[in-house]
Amino acid sequence: MRERLPGPDVTPEMLANRSWWKGPQLYVLVDDYDLVAAASQNPLLPLLEFLPQARDIGLHLIITRRIGGAARAMFDPVIGRIRELASPGIMMSGPREEGPLFGTIKPQVLPPGRAWMITRKHGARLVQLAWTPPVR
């Protein structure tokens, strides 16, 4: 990822079309982040320096966690950085007592599959997510 970081010779046009590097998009998916980050050392800390330029270098970090204790998790360095960068988020059903997690949106009890999708561009929108059982 360090080789993908734009150097001083990268123009705004090159930045927009990502032409200074070639390679695949990198996706890191972490399920149950609250269990991963509870360890004595967080394995995602090395990614912190790349998060502000993730879009430019083709890095996509997707984190899921249970909503219980989410307000306390905002002090986690990785989640804190994601929040500072106003990255998009999806908030499913949860107790209002957690307080605002994305912008000013607090969790609330929602029907199954319903969620708040929060982005910088569109703000908060109520969405319905679908699930299909795995094929056996």
pLDDT digits (tens, 9 = 90+) for 11-35: 989 888 888 888 899 999 999 998 8
**Average pLDDT over all residues of the chain:** 90
Q: Identify the CA nearest to 62 among candidates 74, 54, 53, 71.
A: 54
pLDDT for 127 beyond 90 = yes
Predicted structure pTM score: 0.83
Q: Which amino acid is at 35?
A: L
What's the mean pLDDT in 42-51? 93
* pLDDT score at 41: 82
pLDDT at 39: 62
Mean per-residue pLDDT, 38-52: 87
pLDDT tens profile 71-95: 888 888 999 899 899 899 999 999 9
Residue 55, pLDDT > 80, answer yes
Within its chain, how far is the Cα of 82 from the centroid? 6
